């Protein structure tokens, strides 16, 4: 390697991403000499981004055994894949999304050239998280040399997992040719006849609890697994199934009540014209199962991409603790969320407050991400009176928290949410599947 090459490598290490003028000036060489120096580096060592005056350069970061760039595919609602972009790992920890199709949402005002200072935000929900994410990490940690705790994973660990086990994760994006091939095979895999669900779900629940990974790392702390069901006409339905433990245990009986309550919340919202997952409650071997139709999948074997409010807000605002109604206002103001979705997000916040949902963090609401802004709010999920969830010591809460009054500008949304909550509480009181202690707690409020 000649002196110019050594100096060039050092300059890239110091600056990260550079323009040709910056490199030539730092090295004290002409533009033609710089061009010859860049061309003399090993093939693929330098990655060029942008065109004309916006052209910039960076060194590729090779990830051991995996390369330094990979195709990013989107699977559409009909199950057809398209090559959306090429994902490049850059030295210094940055990533470049080199678009092959126009997706304005993959760039946006903060990332106009598709360069991200860390793992791209719209892929962040693919990282393992929650109950299944921890199980997934433990199952692959030895084989793929990644930490058994997914909270310790670097972007390189995430990519390593996605290139090997990322065929059926949340949303519509798949990284790498191998995972695309597996995704297409999975969409045609065998489904569980709906008449045989209870027994099949019992086996799947036992497998998950024994530490066997069920093939997806959907987020959330509730024990769950992913499945596909099929009716007598041959129609398939991708589902996600949460389950309780043995309902002879008071804490597990309360968890079962909360699963029923979540199903009734979705029924209440659907009856009011608010999109929510279609659900069904099943019982088998003294366990309760909440089956929810996946809204990031279609019956045709297709997919719809989702991003959590957590991933989006972390990238654009970094305000991860303000109420959903405040997030709705800033997202609508900036053209990220459409007006109808923003209004619905505000309503859902107040509905959750009225029913005692104490778990309304930004990971529990998602948006459908398409190629252009604004996004649309995805159907609601994880909506239940989580204030009644068993405490860590196993004791059971006996009342809901007091509902704080809304600011004046939220009065209309709050009033409609309160009406929906009254309807919901009526459904809870009349449902024979719920225990008397749960119904009593629903009627009790802190003072």
CA pair distance 402, 258, nearest whole angstrom = 19
Number of domains in the chain: 4
pLDDT, tens digit, for every residue of 61-102? Answer: 999 889 999 999 999 999 999 999 999 999 989 999 999 998
- Confirm whether 412 is a catalytic residue: no
Residues 282 and 166 placed together within one structural domain of the fold: no
CATH of the domain at 420: 1.10.1070.20
- Give the dihedral sign, CA 322/327/328/332: positive
How much is the pTM? Answer: 0.92
Instruction: With respect to residue 300, please indicate whether it lies within any of the assigned structural domains.
Output: no
**Which residue range(s) make up the domain with 254?**
190-293
CA pair distance 136, 128, nearest whole angstrom = 7
Whether the per-residue pLDDT at 237 is higher than 70: the answer is yes
Instruction: With respect to residue 425, please indicate whether it lies within any of the assigned structural domains.
Output: yes
pLDDT at 1: 46
Instruction: With respect to residue 91, please indicate whether it lies within any of the assigned structural domains.
Output: yes
Last residue of a domain, one of 233, 260, 293: 293
Residues 84 and 175 placed together within one structural domain of the fold: yes
pLDDT at 3: 56
Residues 166 and 272 placed together within one structural domain of the fold: no
pLDDT, tens digit, for every residue of 380-395? Answer: 999 999 999 999 999 9
The residues, any chain, with a CB within 8 Å of residue 126's CB and separated by 6 or more, are: 158, 162, 166, 169, 170, 171, 173
Instruction: With respect to residue 301, please indicate whether it lies within any of the assigned structural domains.
Output: no
Instruction: Tell me whether the omega of the peptide bond preceding residue 306 falls within 30 degrees of 0, making it cis.
Output: no
What mean pLDDT comes out for the span 34-43?
84
Residues 362 and 427 placed together within one structural domain of the fold: yes
CA dist 299 → 5, 78, 231, 302, 442 (Å): 54, 9, 12, 7, 36
What mean pLDDT comes out for the span 265-291?
97
Q: To the nearest whole number, what is the mean pLDDT of the chain?
A: 91
Instruction: With respect to residue 105, please indicate whether it lies within any of the assigned structural domains.
Output: yes
- DSSP letters spanning 358-378: ----GGG-EEE--SSSSBEEP
Residues 154 and 236 placed together within one structural domain of the fold: no
CATH of the domain at 257: 3.30.200
Last residue of a domain, one of 293, 326, 345: 293
The residues, any chain, with a CB within 8 Å of residue 149's CB and separated by 6 or more, are: 134, 137
Catalytic one among 359, 412, 423, 431? Answer: 359
Instruction: With respect to residue 311, please indicate whether it lies within any of the assigned structural domains.
Output: yes
pLDDT, tens digit, for every residue of 164-190? Answer: 888 888 899 999 999 999 888 766 667
Instruction: With respect to residue 341, please indicate whether it lies within any of the assigned structural domains.
Output: yes
CATH of the domain at 41: 1.10.10.10
CA pair distance 362, 384, nearest whole angstrom = 15
Instruction: With respect to residue 298, please indicate whether it lies within any of the assigned structural domains.
Output: no
Nearest residue to 298 via CA among 237, 216, 229, 227: 237
pLDDT, tens digit, for every residue of 123-150? Answer: 999 988 888 788 888 888 888 889 999 8
- Dihedral Cα 368, 235, 226, 378, nearest 10 deg: 20
pLDDT, tens digit, for every residue of 283-312? Answer: 998 999 999 999 999 888 899 999 999 999
CA pair distance 410, 424, nearest whole angstrom = 21
């Amino acid at each position: 390697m000649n002196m110019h090459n050594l100096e060039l490598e050092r300059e890239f290490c110091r600056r990260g991403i550079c323009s040709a003028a910056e490199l030539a000036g730092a090295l004290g060489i002409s533009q033609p000499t710089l061009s010859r120096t860049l061309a003399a580096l090993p093939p693929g060592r330098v990655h060029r981004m942008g065109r004309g005056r916006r052209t910039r350069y960076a060194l590729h970061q090779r990830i051991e055994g995996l390369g330094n760039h990979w195709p990013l595919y989107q699977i559409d609602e009909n199950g057809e894949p398209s090559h959306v972009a090429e994902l490049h790992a850059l030295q210094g920890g940055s990533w470049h999304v080199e678009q092959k199709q126009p997706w304005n949402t993959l760039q946006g005002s903060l990332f106009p050239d598709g360069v991200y200072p860390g793992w791209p935000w719209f892929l962040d929900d693919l990282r393992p998280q929650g109950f299944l994410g921890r199980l997934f990490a433990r199952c692959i940690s030895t084989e793929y040399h990644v930490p058994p705790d997914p909270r310790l994973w670097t972007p390189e660990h995430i990519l390593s997992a996605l290139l090997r086990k990322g065929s059926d994760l949340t949303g519509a994006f798949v990284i790498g040719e191998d995972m695309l091939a597996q995704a297409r095979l999975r969409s045609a895999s065998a489904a569980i006849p709906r008449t045989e669900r209870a027994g099949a779900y019992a086996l799947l629940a036992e497998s998950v609890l024994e530490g066997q990974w069920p093939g997806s790392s959907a987020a959330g702390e509730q024990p769950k697994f992913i499945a596909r069901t099929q009716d007598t006409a041959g129609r398939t339905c991708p589902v996600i199934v949460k389950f309780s433990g043995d309902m002879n245990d008071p804490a597990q009986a309360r968890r079962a009540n909360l699963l029923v309550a979540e199903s009734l919340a979705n029924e209440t919202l659907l009856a009011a014209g608010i999109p929510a997952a279609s659900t069904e409650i099943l019982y088998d071997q003294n366990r309760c199962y909440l089956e929810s139709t996946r809204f990031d999948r279609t019956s045709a074997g297709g997919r719809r991409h989702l991003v959590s409010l957590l991933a989006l807000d972390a990238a654009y605002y970094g305000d991860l603790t303000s109420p959903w109604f405040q997030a709705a206002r800033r997202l609508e103001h900036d053209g990220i969320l459409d007006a109808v979705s923003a209004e619905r997000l505000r309503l859902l916040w107040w509905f959750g407050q009225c029913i005692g949902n104490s778990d309304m963090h930004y990971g529990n609401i998602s948006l459908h991400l398409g190629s252009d802004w604004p996004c649309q709010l995805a159907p609601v999920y994880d909506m239940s009176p989580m204030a009644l969830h068993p405490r860590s010591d196993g004791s059971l809460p006996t009342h809901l928290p007091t509902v704080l009054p809304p600011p004046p500008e939220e009065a209309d949304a709050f009033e409609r949410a309160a009406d929906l909550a009254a309807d919901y509480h009526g459904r809870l009181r009349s449902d024979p599947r719920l225990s008397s202690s749960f119904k009593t707690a629903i009627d009790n409020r802190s003072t």
